[in-house]
Amino acid sequence: MTVWDAGDGVRLRSSAASEYGPRVAKAADGKLWFVTGEGMQVVDPHHLVVNKLPPPVRVEQIVADHKTCWQNLPGAAVSDLRLPARTRDLTIDYTALSLVAPEKVHFKYMLEGQDHDWREVVNDREVQYTNLPPRHYRFRVIASNNSGVWNEQGDTLEFSVDPAYYQTNWFRALCVVAVLLLLWAAYQLRVRQLHEQFEMTLEARVGERTRIARDLHDTLLQSFHGILLHLQRLSNRLQQGEIKQALDGTIDQAAQAIVEGRDAVQGLRASTVESNDLALAIRTLGEELTAADHVSRRPDFSVRLEGSPRSLHPIVRDEVYRIAGEGMRNAFRHAEAKQIEVEIHYDERQLWLRVRDNGKGIDPKLLSDDGRGGHFGLPGMRERAKLIGGKLTVWSELNAGTEIELSIPAARAYAIASQGDVSLVEKFLAKLPGQGTVKK
């Protein structure tokens, strides 16, 4: 389709319509006759002039922030055109030469790296971009003449926009590292706060245990000791006989009870500072329970250790030992098991302990948090695990055995002490009179 306008000599007026015939007519020789406001005009389709010469195209210049950065002059180098950082307004001037009808030249341009497709304009010889991100660009422009003949090769200009310091990869990397460091510092601060709270809790427990031990020593044991002296005096006044023998036996039992009470009080005050070998303590307890059990139902007992043994916080070790001891006593006394096994695993992330037997199991009603009224075995084990920041899981089925699993995070289980440090329990024991020296 060809369009003629005023540039081609066609002049139209709104009053050009004829009342006596059509506006356009075709003659017998093929010529087209038009009625216009200026008279009659004729076009011979067989003798139309077609402009077959594609217009030459070239990029004229680049203006960045109202400053000319490059002009297409003879000898101008375009191999490494770099625009300054933070360039906001960019104008690219281009042109195409067509002497026949320069106003009818069509352009298509595309900025590779920014535009996704060609943009077509008519007789417009500049394009503007705003806030181009820093990267490499390639500007392409092609043009067509008044007859629609395109110069497909056109012209090309490559340039790049330099990044500002905050747009560089190293700056982004530093920001990521800074954020990670802040998160790590916040995490370490939180861990330290939790550790201090945990230490305060353990300190309070040490103080409470020491107070209870002191009260038992100063009241209950002293009272029993006084009663024992009175019984001894009564026994001395009696002559030999059944009553004296029975009373002497009772005195011996009371004396043994007082000794055991003193040992228990000493255990409350000294805790587990004297030894930090958890596996040895559990193995010793298992051997004692095995020896005390009835011969006909004596189970096979074993302790399996995995990982390198680590020093435990004294209070944590004491609670772990008591939880394991409670589970072992239940297995020896009530499970009627043939095999009892204790597993201790020292891991980098946690301390893990399991007491397992193949006995008759536990009634599901007793596995609830409330347990059985008047019995504090399982509730006490759960309370001890909660106080040291651990997780206690108890699994059991009737005639399928029982498994008691305890896991404690490494940060709370393992003691981190340098040479010359004194443990928290040792500090408290040093303040108690008459306790002697605590072995390390």
pLDDT band at 427 (very low <50, low <70, confident <90, very high): very low
Most confident option among 36-40, 195-199, 295-299, 316-320? 316-320
How high is the pLDDT of residue 229?
79
Whether residue 71 has pLDDT greater than 60: yes
Hey, what are 67's tokens?
Answer: 């400053």
| Tens-place pLDDT, residues 224-259 | 777 777 777 777 777 777 777 777 777 777 777 766
Closest CA to 35 of 8, 54, 10: 10
Least confident segment among 156-160, 278-282, 417-421: 417-421
How high is the pLDDT of residue 346?
92
Least confident segment among 53-57, 72-76, 94-98, 172-176: 72-76
Residue type, 266: Q
Q: Alpha-carbon distance 335 to 337, whole Å?
A: 5
Rounded average pLDDT over 97-119: 91
How high is the pLDDT of residue 429?
39
How high is the pLDDT of residue 273?
40
Cα 66 from chain centre:
48
Those residues whose C-beta lies under 8 Å from the C-beta of residue 304, and which sit 6 or more positions away, are: 341, 342, 343, 344
| Tens-place pLDDT, residues 374-392 | 445 788 888 888 888 899 9
Cα–Cα–Cα angle for 358, 384, 327, rounded to 5 degrees: 15
How high is the pLDDT of residue 197?
80
Most confident option among 211-215, 244-248, 299-303? 299-303
- Give the mean pLDDT of the chain: 79
282 contacts 259 by C-beta, under 8 angstroms: no
405 contacts 382 by C-beta, under 8 angstroms: no
Whether residue 94 has pLDDT greater than 90: yes
pLDDT band at 432 (very low <50, low <70, confident <90, very high): very low
How high is the pLDDT of residue 59?
93
83 contacts 177 by C-beta, under 8 angstroms: no
How high is the pLDDT of residue 396?
87
Least confident segment among 9-13, 202-206, 241-245, 387-391: 9-13
pLDDT band at 74 (very low <50, low <70, confident <90, very high): confident
Whether residue 439 has pLDDT greater than 50: no
Task: Calculate the alpha carbon distances from 117 to 59, 79, 113, 202, 358 in Å.
Answer: 19, 25, 11, 70, 75
Rounded average pLDDT over 320-333: 89
Whether residue 270 has pLDDT greater than 60: no
Whether residue 285 has pLDDT greater than 80: yes
Q: Walk me through the domains of the chain, giving residue ranges and CATH numbers.
A: 6-47 (no CATH), 57-167 (2.60.40.10), 274-422 (3.30.565.10)
| Tens-place pLDDT, residues 143-192 | 999 888 999 999 999 999 999 999 899 999 999 999 999 999 999 999 88
| Tens-place pLDDT, residues 336-375 | 888 999 999 998 889 999 999 998 888 777 776 555 544 4
| Tens-place pLDDT, residues 43-63 | 777 766 678 889 999 999 999
| Percent of the chain residues topping a pLDDT of 70 | 75
Those residues whose C-beta lies under 8 Å from the C-beta of residue 345, and which sit 6 or more positions away, are: 306, 307, 351, 352, 353
